[in-house]
Structure formats: structure tokens, C-alpha cells
Amino acid sequence: MKFNIKDVARKAGVSISTVSRVVNDSKVVKPETHEKVMKAIEELGYKPNAIARSLKVKNTKTIGILIPDISNQFYPEVVRGIEDIANMYQYNIFLCNTDLDPEKETKYFDILAEKQVDGIIFISNIVSEALYKKFKVYDIPVVLIGADYEDVPSVSIDNVGASKSIVNYLIKKGHKRIATIVGKNSDPVMGVARLEGYKTALREANISIDNELIIEGGHRYKSGYEGAKRLLELEEPPTAIFATNDEMAIGTLRAALEQGLDIPEDLAIVGFDNIDMAGKVYPALTTVAQPMYEMGAIATRVLTKILNEEELETRKIVLNYSLLERESS
């Protein structure tokens, strides 16, 4: 027994337009009629059909979010930020895991477009030419998190600066032999920007760059663990390791601890991101924090502004990172 606006109208003895008016509380309706209608709505347990409404008003009050993988520790926090703000503005969110796979990205994008989402939040390191074209063709508003591309609004942090700053911190602590475990070089963030920050910091401190100390990991715990083991086997091992994300840093931590090293006396370890786990391991991880919740929240706010056709002060928002000195360094 699902009732529609017609049933309510009949029951209340008014026309469907009147019912529609009270549902969308237009102020023109007479109090008594309002009451009559409300009573009918109550009694029938009527709920408006948002699909039908959407077809008419041409918006769905839903936004799609494309995320690499919700089970990766970094993302839940940003999704939470997105959902909180979306909810505040009466939007619901479609969650899609892309695994950073371009095919999945386009596939999901098409589906979201067909489902008429009002906007999309896209989280990735890279936006492909093909996808960018789709943004344009369907002209559905998109905001990027963590990446930056052409004229697409985005929110991110200064990865070069952040990684430079944490390496600087290590240098100030007196370290000279500083290793890093970076992402694949196809990854513009963990493989390029953060590596560049590392190199710049070293260069500016007149420390020569030793390629032996630069390990290409990936982004998971295991890469960190294995990378660290290799580093620790060097004739002249590093006194500090900068893993370009926390998960790898935690893998590094284990490698060091297994060898009985004292952290941070024998080896300093620092990460990047400040995932939830970073502060909970022992010793707690020094890291440069990305404001993950805020990134989600702000990106969503930007999107709602676009949807409301409000003015945007900036299309490119760069958030501040912050250095969290804890126990591992």
C-alpha cells in the first residue's frame, strides 16, 4: 500500500495541486486546508516520491563520489567529511570505489550521469584526458580532491612543500642520511611531488642525494616493510626514513622494531597523511597531517556553492598541512 499524491487529494477532498502545495509548504494555502491535507497525509502515511519529483524539477539532491578504495585507511575520513556536509545541504551520496582504475572511473561516471546526480566529487591522483572530456560533455559539476587539473575546482595540499618541510625537520634534528620510500613514479603525488620535496630539502641543505636511499615502494604497508628492510641492510643504513604515507611508515616501523632497533634513537621514522592509525601505533608516528575530514567537507561545500550558483572565491583551494611531532622521531 503505497499512496501517491492523488490518493491524498481524494482523501482530503482537494486537488492534487493543493496537496503539492502543502507538501512543499507554499504559504498561500489556507490554514484549514493545510490541516485537512496534513491529516490525510498522516493517515495514509504518504511520502512524496522523490524520483517523480526529480524528473520534474531536474535535480536529484544527490551527489556521486568517486573514491579509490573505501577500505584504504586514508579515505573513510574524507568521505565522512563529504557526507556530513552533503547531508547538511540535503544531499545524499552515491559511493563508488574505482580502485584508481580508469575504466571503472569512466564506467561509474557514466552511471552517475545517467542517474542524474547533481554533482560529483572525484578523488584521485590523476584525472585522465578522457575523463576530463566527459566532465565537459555532460557538463556536470565536478570537484577534485587531492588532484588538480586544468580549470576543474579542486581542494588539495601542497605536497611538495609538505614533504620538504618534514624532511627539513629531520635535517634540523641532525640527520644527514635520510632515506625515503616513495610511490610509483606514475603516481604524481606519492611518486613525484613528495619525492621532489624530499630532494629539494636535501639539496637546500647541501646534502647530496644518494639514490641508494630512495626506494620505490607503492602505498601499502607491505611496501613500507620491504622497503625498510632493504634500507636497513645497506652497509651504511640511514638514520632516518621518510615514508611517503603513513601505512608504509607503519610497515617501516615494524621492520625496524623486528630488528630490535630503538625508535627514534637508532632510527627516526616519519610518515605522511596522519591516518587514524598513525597516532595509535607505538611509538606513535611523527607525520605531516593532511586535514582529511576538512578536505571532504570543503570540497562538498564548494560543490554546493556551484550547484546554488553562488560565487566561488577560488577554484583551487590549497589547504594547510601541519607537522605532527610524536614519538617516532
Residue numbers at the binding site for DNA (CB under 7 A): 2, 4-6, 13-18, 20-21, 23-24, 28-30, 32-33, 46-49, 52-53, 55-58
User: Measured between alpha carbons, how far is 256 from 254 in angstroms, rounded to an integer?
Assistant: 5
Q: Which is nearer to DNA, 53 or 80 (CB)?
A: 53
Region binding a second copy by CB under 8 A among candidate stretches 137-145, 177-185, 211-219, 300-308: 137-145
Residue number with CB closer to a second copy (76 or 188): 76
Give the list of residues 6+ apart from residue 2 with CB closer than 8 angstroms, or none. Answer: none
Please report whether residue 101 would count as binding a second copy according to CB under 8 A: no
Minimum CB–partner distance for residue 59 and DNA (Å) = 10
Q: What is the number of other CB atoms lying within 10 angstroms of the CB of residue 306? A: 17
Contacts of residues 278-284 at CB distance under 8 Å and 24 or more positions apart, as own/partner, are: 278/246, 278/249, 278/250, 278/324, 278/326, 279/324, 279/326, 281/250, 281/253, 282/327, 283/253, 283/326, 283/327, 283/328, 284/326, 284/327, 284/328
Query: Minimal distance in Å, beta carbon 223 to a second copy?
Result: 13
CA dist 227 to 73, 123, 213, 216, Å? 20, 27, 10, 8
Tell which positions 232-251 bind a second copy, by CB under 8 A: 247, 250-251
With CB under 8 A as the contact rule, the residue among 40, 162, 201, 281 that binds a second copy is 281
Residues that bind a second copy (CB under 8 A): 1-2, 45, 47-52, 54-55, 60, 62, 69-73, 75-77, 79-80, 83-84, 87, 92-97, 110-116, 137-139, 221, 247, 250-251, 253-254, 257-258, 276-277, 280-282, 293
